[in-house]
Amino acid sequence: MSKNEGITLGDFAKELGAELSGNTEKIVVGLNTLRAASNDEVSFLSKDLYVKDLKKTKACAVIISPDKADLAPCDTILAEDPYLLYAKATHIFMNLKKNKRKSGISNLSDIHDSAKISPTAYIGPFCKIGKDVEIGEEVILGSGVVINNSTKIGKKTVIYANSTIYDSVSIGSNCIIHSGTVIGSDGLGFVRDGENWVKIEHLGKVHIGDTVEIGANCSIDRGSVGDTIIENQVKLDNQVHVAHNVNIGRATVIAANTAIAGSTVIGKNCTVSGGCGIIDNLKITDSVHITALSLVTKSITKPGTYTSGTTLMDHGLWKKNAVAFKRLKDIIKK
């Protein structure tokens, strides 16, 4: 790999704002684990569990806390929080990759004449861009992305292959939307008319803030009346469902296979672990942490950690506990 495909350790440390002890001219081309790193890659130590791997690493430099620097067999980049610095380091190498990407519009794409597309954007093959769409600077659309009418996408947002963005969706800057995600579809809205169902047309929109990341195969419904809102810095894992008129507050993180029913409001700086269900029309305050497989059936007004799922146990013991749970009401009466 040539030098212009990597970065010197000196420049790497400078971009991180960290202290380097070692060869400033050494070229590094990527990040890797302590065990798998080669002599042109950087690694990191964030847990004592991996000290044994540190002693054997072939990495050319390690991001490490000052109190453990003497354990490293290679150059060091000092950080009070090595894991945080590692996270920032990933951006440096990702930007190196992005700088190699070309701008322009594939001849195999279908672009409406009224669409406004920055000359620095990249539109991949088989994309379809609708009427009055606005696409900002350095946006990247992978192959097969569909952007429907009157949608706006902010600068430096990346939308991966085969994602679909419906009409009148706004997506901020520096967002990442992974493959297969659908944004702006109708939610579950029907009213009984005798033995039939009458559909409620969804007339609202979806607004997504800046620096939001949405995982693969997520579904985000548009508002029925009013809008679905995902605020800045929200992170959604794969296969998360956000129903109509949900509002997710700033910097909240939601793990895979969680479903949030309509008109629920989730506050800022919350975390929702995998496989959770949150019913409709609830309000969850800021700084709430919900553990895996929990079912949230009422509003949460105080910050803290909440759990409803049962933990793994021997199956025989689980059956005995299940029987006891059924009898709990009678036991309390006695």
Measuring CA to CA, how many Å separate 203 from each of 22, 37, 159, 244? Answer: 60, 52, 24, 10
DSSP β-ladder status, 152-153 and 213-214: unpaired
CA dihedral 160, 139, 151, 124 (to 10 degrees): -50
CA dihedral 161, 162, 167, 169 (to 10 degrees): -40
Residue 57 CB contacts under 8 Å (≥ 6 apart), including other chains: 34, 35, 37, 43, 73, 74
DSSP class of residue 300 equals B
Helix (H) or strand (E) holding 28: strand 27-28
Is the CB of residue 181 less than 8 Å from the CB of residue 215?
A: yes
CA-to-CA distance for 279 and 289, rounded, in angstroms? 16
Q: DSSP string of 113-153?
A: TT-EE-TT-EE-TT-EE-TT-EE-TT-EE-TT-EE-TT-EE
Is the CB of residue 184 less than 8 Å from the CB of residue 148?
A: yes
CA-to-CA distance for 42 and 125, rounded, in angstroms? 35
DSSP-derived 3-state class of residue 97:
helix
DSSP class of residue 246 equals -
CA dihedral 139, 145, 148, 150 (to 10 degrees): 0
Active-site annotation holds for 202: no
Is the CB of residue 199 less than 8 Å from the CB of residue 206?
A: no
From the candidates 178, 244, 289, 315, which is the catalytic residue?
A: 244
What residues are labeled active site? 244
